[in-house]
Amino acid sequence: MESPKKPYPSEKSILHPRNKHRERYDFIQLTASCPELKPSVILNKYGDESIDFFDPMAVRLLNKALLKHFYHIDFWELPTGYLCPSIPGRADYIHYLADLLSQNSKYKTTSSHTVRCLDIGVGASLIYPILGYKEYGWSFVGSDIDKVAINAAQGIIDKNPALKDKIEVRWQKNPKDFFRGIILPGEKFDLTMCNPPFHSSSADAQSAALRKLNNLKGVKTKQTILNFGGQANELYYVGGELRFVTDMIIESKSFSTSCLWFSSLLSKQSNLKPILALLKKLEATEVKIIPMGQGNKISRIIAWTFQPTPAIHNSVLRHLK
C-alpha cells in the first residue's frame, strides 16, 4: 500500500519571518537560475520534486542554485570534503542578529552607519558574510584556522566582484585564539558571530552522524555518508561546544571595547547554564538568548556585551544569583 501524500505547510513557520526560504523550494526557478542542478532533481515518494539529500553533489548544487537565484552569487565552489552549510538556517542567524542591532537607534534602517561583523570560523563556504552583505549591506571580516578554507573563501570573493570591497578573510595562525591576531589594534566591530564545532572528538562526530543517518533512512548502516562534509576543525573541538564557547567568551573580555555584541550559536540546552554563569562572573552588561529553529530541532543564539547599553536586562542571569 502506497504511503499517503504528505501534507506540506505553505511556509516553514519555524524560520525567521524575513527568511527568503520559508516556502518550499521551487525547482523550476532554481534550475532556471542554475541548470547544473537539473539532473539532480528527482521525485520523492510523494511525487514532489526534491533532491537526494544523501548525495553530496546534489546538496552542493542546491546551495549553488539558492545562492545564485536569491542572492545573485555567480560563483560558489567548495573544496572536496569541506562543510556544505544549510542556507535557510544560516540565514536565520543573520536575521536575528539584525533584530538584535535594531534595538539600538544607531542601527535603524535609516542610519548611514555600515555594520561591521566578524565571523569566527568563516569556513570555505563564506556563507555568513555572503548572506549578511546581500541581506543588509554589512561588511565582514571572516577568520579561520584552516588555510585551505581561507583560500577557497578568497576565491569566492575574487570571482564575485560585488563582494570584493565588503568581505575580507584573515587566517588565524594560532588555533587556540579567537580574536587575538584577527582584530587589529584600534579596529571596531558591531558584531561577532560563530557556528562552533558541536562534537568533542572525531569518534563522537562519526557516531552522531551515523545515528542521524540511521534515524533518517530507517535502516541500519555501518558507513557514514557525509552529505554535508566537514573537516576536523569544523566538526569537533576538545571539550566540545561548551569548551569552545567558554574559551571564546573568556577571550572576548579582553576585546570588550572592540565589539558591541559578541555572539555564538549554542546547540545544546544543557550548555546554557554554565555559559550564563561564566558571563555573570565576567560581568557582561547584557546577555540575550535568542531561540531559533534549525531544521527539525530548536537551537539558540547566545549574545553578550561588556559595553553600556541603553537598557540592561539581567533577567536571564537572575536565577543564577
> Which DSSP string corresponds to 297-309?
EEEEEEEEE-S--
pLDDT class of 250 with cuts at 50, 70, 90:
very high
* Average pLDDT of the residues in 260-268: 95
Q: Which CATH architecture has domain 78-318?
A: 3-Layer(aba) Sandwich (3.40)
pLDDT digits (tens, 9 = 90+) for 68-118: 999 999 999 999 989 899 999 999 999 999 999 998 877 765 455 789 999
Q: Which helix (H) or strand (E) holds 139?
A: strand 139-144
Share of the chain above pLDDT 70, in %: 78
Query: What is residue 312's predicted lDDT score, i.e. its pLDDT?
Result: 37
Nearest residue to 293 (alpha-carbon basis) of 91, 24, 20? 91
* Average pLDDT of the residues in 275-288: 98
pLDDT class of 294 with cuts at 50, 70, 90:
low
Query: What is residue 12's predicted lDDT score, i.e. its pLDDT?
Result: 73
Per mean pLDDT, which range of 3-12, 160-169, 285-294 is the poorest?
Answer: 3-12
- SS3 assignment for 47-95: CCEECCCCCHHHHHHHHHHHHHHHHCCCCCCCCCCCCCCCHHHHHHHHH
pLDDT above 70: residue 232: no
Please name the residues in contact with 207: beta carbons below 8 A apart, sequence gap of 6 or more.
none
pLDDT above 50: residue 320: no
pLDDT class of 270 with cuts at 50, 70, 90:
very high
Query: What is residue 185's predicted lDDT score, i.e. its pLDDT?
Result: 96
Query: What is residue 311's predicted lDDT score, i.e. its pLDDT?
Result: 42
Residue 179's CB: how many other CB atoms inside 10 A? 20
pLDDT class of 321 with cuts at 50, 70, 90:
very low
Q: Which residues sit opposite 199 in a β-bridge?
A: 236
Q: Which three cell numbers stand for residue 277?
A: 554563569
pLDDT digits (tens, 9 = 90+) for 133-165: 999 999 999 999 999 999 999 999 999 999 999
Q: Sort strands 116-120 and 259-266 into parallel, antiparallel or unpaired.
A: unpaired
Domain boundaries, the chain: 78-318
Q: Compute the mean pLDDT over every residue in the chain, rounded to the nearest whole number.
A: 85
